[in-house]
Amino acid sequence: MAQWFDDLSRMLASPMPRRRALLIIAGTVVSTALASLRPARAQVPTCGSVDCPPGQSCCNSTFGLCCPDTGTCCSFGTAAAFCCTAAGQACCAGFCCPTQQQCCATSEQTPLCCPDGYKCCDVARGTCCPVNSVCCGSTCCPAGQLCNGGTCVDQCPAGQVPCGTNCCGPGQICDQPTQTCRTPCGAGFCNPDDLCCNDTVCCPFSTSCCLDGCCQLGCDVDGLCIPF
């Protein structure tokens, strides 16, 4: 704006008829006003070598794949990518679950979509149970029963305390706010399916507890993690 005033002042300082000076001022003011009213170009999301059209967002830049904002992006890095276009669909191990059905599989497993009226109880085991039942590992307990270590029971055995729909195992305590059985481990507590390894660290259900901690491939003959 300062440069605009300097240029206008120099033009007006030069000898010229008054009519021409007024025309220059009017033309400059109109041009400036129109420029300020011109809409700014909308920012287009860049997706690799393509630009996503309105209403879509970048799902995977490697493949230049854009998905509708109302859908779900299923991206697996440089391996594959696709769009679940229907609203409410879930991306499930390389497959789109029908609308309102829950995915019950990790990306490494075979896709599993729980049928209508069912819920995913255990992703690691791929267990779907009726919505009004009690999840119990790979077992579905009827409503009103309790889960005790993967077995449906009417009441918890002696020495075990009920916690929500579960029976806490020996040595476990019930976390009342979350109604979850937890195992003391070090300075904290492990989740229900986790294993307290070496009294210091919680190992996920799918891992092994070795002398040097939680291991994906199990322990060798010396009790140490098998390397990848």
Q: Are 167 and 160 in contact (CB under 8 A)?
A: yes
Could you report the per-residue pLDDT of 65-100, keeping only the tens digit for each? 999 998 888 877 677 788 998 878 888 877 889 888
In a domain, 74, yes or no: yes
Q: Are 81 and 75 in contact (CB under 8 A)?
A: yes
In a domain, 182, yes or no: no
In a domain, 203, yes or no: no
Tell me, what's the pLDDT at 23?
52
In the block, residue with structure tokens 């085991």: 125
The strand pair at 195-197 and 201-203 is best described as antiparallel
Instruction: Tell me if residue 35 falls in helix, strand or coil.
Output: helix
Element (H, E) at 134: strand 134-136
What value does the mean pLDDT of the chain take? 81
In a domain, 119, yes or no: no
Q: Are 183 and 196 in contact (CB under 8 A)?
A: yes
In a domain, 212, yes or no: no
Q: List C-alpha distances in Å: 57 to 60, 78, 96, 117, 143.
A: 9, 18, 18, 32, 43
In a domain, 77, yes or no: yes
Tell me, what's the pLDDT at 133?
95
In a domain, 75, yes or no: yes
Domain range for 69: 50-87
Residue from 217, 215, 173 nearest 192 by CA: 173
In a domain, 60, yes or no: yes
Please count the structural domains in the chain: 1
Could you report the per-residue pLDDT of 16-27, keeping only the tens digit for each? 555 554 555 555
Tell me, what's the pLDDT at 41?
47
